[in-house]
Structure 1
Amino acid sequence: MDTPQDADEIDLFELMSSLWKQKIIIIFFVVLSVLTATAYAFLSKPIYEARIFIQPPTLNGIADFNYGRTRDAELTPFAVKDVYEVFVHNLLSESLRRTFFVEVYLPSLPESKRAGSRDALYSDYLSELTIGLPAKDQPDRYLVSVQSRDPAQATDWVKAYVARAGEAAESEMLKNVAREAEVRARNLAQQISTLQETADKVREDSVTQLREALKVAQAIHLTEPPIISGNVSAEVSATMNGQLTYMRGTKALEAEIKNLEERKSNDPFIDSLRALQIKQSFYKDLQVSPDRVSVYLIDGTVEQPDRPIKPKKGLIIALGVIFGVGLGLLVALIRHFVLIRKTTETSNQRFK
């Protein structure tokens, strides 16, 4: 008679024989699972993915941003990295994702779906729009992809999203350039104003000095400069300033005073003024055309996908086979152990 230990032991050959006898059940579950998986694979709507690879702009693309920006002008030129960082910041910004969600994604949904949870819809949207690095060895190259049941829609959306990021980056760069040019023009205007005010003070001082010299010349009745022959004449003429200004004579002094008082502008007599005014005018009118700059480059062409990425029919059917085999074996094993248990209970009742 078998001991309890023998009864609890599993006979491998008996188990295999039992499973073989139940092969119809196993095959049934395999066929059912494969049919279900096949139906799902072929009846599910396909999902298409459109992708854009993005890389930094060229030096030629950012050249107009640096128009008039030199170290001599106290404006550091922009590097490609500086411009591209502005674009990447806008590309990854939550504000752009939200704007695109509200203005593009939501209007594309049917009214019944739009009435659902906004958070759930936004979560679905984020799963369909992805931005990342395609390769770790290229940290400045980004991949933007959009998934949709409509391949044309996926292509349009991925183009529109990248274009919006580019427009936002260009607008930010243009504002930065305009603001810095405005500040530079204001600084130059301040320098010009200071020079003009200084020139006015210098003219007033010159008139005062000439009036005092005129009083001295009138006091000694010196109408014209004294005539001195030889080298001494040149030396004296060269020093007719300061304390010797009166030696020019009353006629010359009166003429100089009248000329200074009637002068309408001191600008022609200010050194470097014209150069500053030219610089001010340049920065004041500085404008960069958006059509002549670029903040990113698209690597390759953006084509409409013609092969869906989901569902993966072969994988789904293979998983259906595996699931069917596993489920069939599980049912067969349960039936096998149930039959053994019933047989054991029946035998025990007979011996009692």
Structure 2
Amino acid sequence: MDLSVNTISAHLPVQPALNDEIDLAELFRSLWAQKLLIVGVTVAAALLAGSYAFFLATPEYQVQSLLRPAAIKDLDALNGTEVYPLTPDEALRRVGTALDSYETRLEFSRAHPELFEALQTPLRSPEQAFEKFNDEAFQMLLPDPKATSLTPYVGIRLTYPEDVQGVSIVNGLVEFALQRERELIAADLQAVIKNRLDKLERKIEAARASYETSKQAKIAALLEADELKRAELQDELRALRQQLKTRRDDRIMQLNEAIRIAKSLGIAKPTTPSALGDEGRSAQGNVIRTEVNNQQIPLYFMGSEALEAERDALQQRRSDDFTEPRIAQIAKELRLLENNREVEILKQRENDDLFLKDLALWREEAARLRALDMDVSKLKLVHIDQAAVEPSKPIKPKKLLILALGIVLGAMLGVFIALIRNIVRRKPDTFAISR
């Protein structure tokens, strides 16, 4: 078995060993031999790139507008109203928000359709065409939080094809956003003024109602106090008269009793106890009699004649009021209570507004608010630091870069084709050697 194998191997042709290493010199000679092909491919690629860059590609331009805060004096008239305060930074933020708003941009496109005619296509509605343009073309410019900026700013940048009026769009959009913010501020200002006037009117009405209520309450309190005082005085008057009547009746009873005693003693004229004891004696010479007694002399010593006269007078009396000074005082006080002058003055007030506290200040504020007539349409909300101007050249296409890339790629493609041809050419030689 081993002998047969060796015999077969001896009759097989001997194949030369293949060299897998690349011969750079041979490769260079091969590429140099195909230099016309490489140059041709490179020139063709350069021509294609140049045709695209200079003739086929649609030029795109870029414009931008930068806005910075307005000066304080520009907003002083608005802030001077003391109704709608607005700082320069807040005004810039509001305008920037309006510029970034899709609704503002869409309304601007609807208001100026002539600026967007080039975007119209049969397959898209105006809104769809604008939405695509808005997503791709507009870019907001904001300060870098990591960078230090002397003043805040807001900007808008637009990248647009050659047939679109980019400068008019950017400047028109900025003016449209400013005008819209002015209209919003004017509407807000009117609303704030109206709300404050309504608030002042409510304050005035509430003050009037409160004053009327307090006035009526004061009148009622005064009348009630008068009624109470009148009732107390009348009660006191009746009590005094009853007291005087009782005192008169008691006096009459005392007098009747004293009259009976005086008659029984035979005392007709006023006398004294000592004089009554000496009636039977005859007086000799001039006698002066002095009597000292610390006890009250009984009433009947006044004599029946005097007592009867007093009793008759008391019985004929129709009123005891003159005997009590307090009754005259009560009559005076009752007379004064018939008319409460304070109540009359309160009821006779023709203009209650004159007595309302803070009413003058409220009316002054209302008059000032009604007199506010500010022309917001000329309000300078921001300072346009950079307006959009017509660009001197497009940003796309970058012709030299495209041409350079075309040359490089063309050369690479030419070398690749040459290498492929070289490999294909060597395959028949390899097969012949292997055979």
Which TM-score tier does this pair reach, normalised by the shorter chain?
A: 0.7 to 0.9
1:122 pairs with one of 102, 106, 131: 131
In the TM superposition, what are the counterparts of 1:111-190 in structure 2 within 5 Å? 113-117=120-124, 119=128, 122-133=131-142, 135=144, 137=147, 138=149, 140-150=152-162, 153-190=165-202
Distance 1:115 1:83, change over 3 A: same
Structure 1: how far apart are the matches of 2:133 and 2:411?
33
Moved more, 329-338 or 174-183: 174-183
1:20-169 aligned at under 5 Å gives the runs 20-43=32-55, 44-69=57-82, 77-104=85-112, 108-109=116-117, 113-117=120-124, 119=128, 122-133=131-142, 135=144, 137=147, 138=149, 140-150=152-162, 153-169=165-181
Residues 48 and 151, structure 1, Cα contact 8 Å, conserved in 2? no
Which residue identity lines up with residue 42 of structure 2 in the other structure? V
Give the total of aligned pairs: 315
SS at match of 1:62: helix
Is the Cα–Cα contact under 8 Å of residues 90 and 165 in structure 1 kept in the other structure?
A: yes
Question: Which residue is 2:405 aligned to?
Answer: 319
State the Cα distance separating 1:207 from its structure 2 match.
3.4
Is the Cα–Cα contact under 8 Å of residues 61 and 293 in structure 1 kept in the other structure? Answer: yes
Tell me what 1:19 maps to. Answer: 31
The alpha-carbon distance between structure 1 residues 110 and 260, as it changes in their structure 2 partners (threshold 3 A), is same
CA distance in 2, matches of 1:269, 1:262: 13
Cα distance, 1:90 vs. partner?
A: 1.6
CA–CA distance in 2 between the matches of 1:120 and 1:333?
Answer: 48
Note closer, same or farther for the CA distance 1:291–1:169 as it changes in structure 2 (3 Å cut): closer
1:162 to 1:315, Cα distance in 2 relative to 1, 3 A: same
Does structure 1 conserve the Cα–Cα contact (< 8 Å) formed by 2:183 and 2:377?
Answer: no
Q: CA 1:116/1:258 → structure 2, altered by over 3 Å: closer, same or farther?
A: same
Q: TM-score, normalised by structure 2?
A: 0.62
Residue 427 of structure 2 is aligned to residue 341 of structure 1:
yes
- Structure 2 unaligned regions, length at least 5: 1-14, 234-332
Pair 1:3 & 2:89 matched: no
Q: Which residue of 2 aligns with 1:272?
A: 358
Tell me if the contact between 1:47 and 1:148 (Cα under 8 Å) persists in the aligned partners.
Answer: yes
Change (3 A) 1:103 1:347: farther
The answer to whether the 8 Å contact 2:61/2:395 transfers is: yes
Q: Percent identity?
A: 23
1:25 deviates by 0.8
The Cα of 1:267 is off from its aligned counterpart by 0.8
* Residues 298-307 or 75-84, more deviating: 75-84
Confirm or deny that 1:281 pairs with 2:289: no
Structure 2 equivalent of residue 191 of structure 1: 203
Q: Using the TM superposition, give the Cα deviation of residue 211 of structure 1 relative to its aligned residue in structure 2, in angstroms.
A: 4.4
Letter in 1 for 2:22: I
Task: Show CA shifts across 1:282-323 (max 9, x none).
Answer: 335545422342332211343222322222222121112112
Structure showing greater Rg:
2
Change in Cα spacing, 1:268 to 1:303, as seen in structure 2 (3 Å) is: same
Q: 1:258 to 1:34 in 2, by over 3 A?
A: same
What is the Cα deviation at residue 199 of structure 1?
1.8
